[in-house]
Amino acid sequence: MKRINIAIDGYSGCGKSTLAKNLASDLGYVFIDTGAMFRGITHYCLIRGVDVSNQTAISKIIEDGPDLIFETESNNLLLNGEDIEKEIRNNKQIASSVSQVASVPSVREYLKQLQLKYIVDKGVVMEGRDIGTVIMPDAELKIFITATLDERVSRRLKQLKGQGEEVSEGYVRTNLIERDRADASRDAAPLRKAKDAIAIDTTTFSKKEQLEVVKALLRPITDTEAFLPFIQ
């Protein structure tokens, strides 16, 4: 079977990472979590005492060249040789600051160059917010994931509680709304659906159903007809 590159974009809490990870595992592809990279840079800024509202200060620290590596076998992120996976997944300060850091053009350019290294060879599933529009505009399959805000809040609450985090529904809802606003309104690579991307509303889908819908899109187009009611 011909190997291709697959771009998956969407808002926070829509299930991009889970879908991308499951799809890559099923296909034997490499999974790249670009959101982890932005959280890694945010973590780097915070431990260096950088004001995340100061774009000039962030740009200056990026010039120092933090060494980020996304381990494709473990799906863990390394910063200057140290595994920071736990830190970036369970830190409220990172969660509330990452949008500001991600809006800095020098950060996006730094990570773009890093991300491009992973797509030299085919067989990559990369998820994020500008994959189909900026990082892999030539990806053979582009997916844009959506879900209702209520469903996204529910999923994120379940995820955080599963990680031992005690957060309120109001906190999660406010965080998602603010993240949506920041992602869609930033000047540098705002979140947009690529013109040739297929939008899939996953609100009522189980993880298995999401995977099957996307796998159907990898087959000849005639095989996807049964799935067309789910595709916008």
The answer to whether residues 184 and 156 touch, using CB atoms and an 8 Å cutoff, is no
Which segments of 28-148 does DSSP mark as H helices, in order? 34-47, 55-63, 85-89, 92-102, 105-116
Neighbours of 62 (CB within 10 A): 20
| Residue-by-residue pLDDT tens, the chain, 232 positions | 678 899 999 999 999 999 999 999 999 999 999 999 999 999 999 999 999 999 999 999 998 878 999 999 999 999 999 999 989 987 889 988 999 999 999 999 999 999 999 999 889 999 999 999 999 999 999 999 999 999 999 999 998 888 788 889 999 999 899 999 999 999 999 999 999 999 999 999 999 999 999 999 987 432 434 444 444 4
Cα separation, 200 vs 140, in Å, equals 17
Specify the pTM.
Answer: 0.89
Question: For 5-216, which CATH class?
Answer: alpha beta
- Which of 100, 108, 101, 110 minimizes the C-alpha distance to 65? 110
- Cα(16)–Cα(10) distance, rounded to whole angstroms? 7
Q: What are the residue boundaries of the structural domains of the chain, listed by start?
A: 5-216
Token pair listed for 137? 């505009």
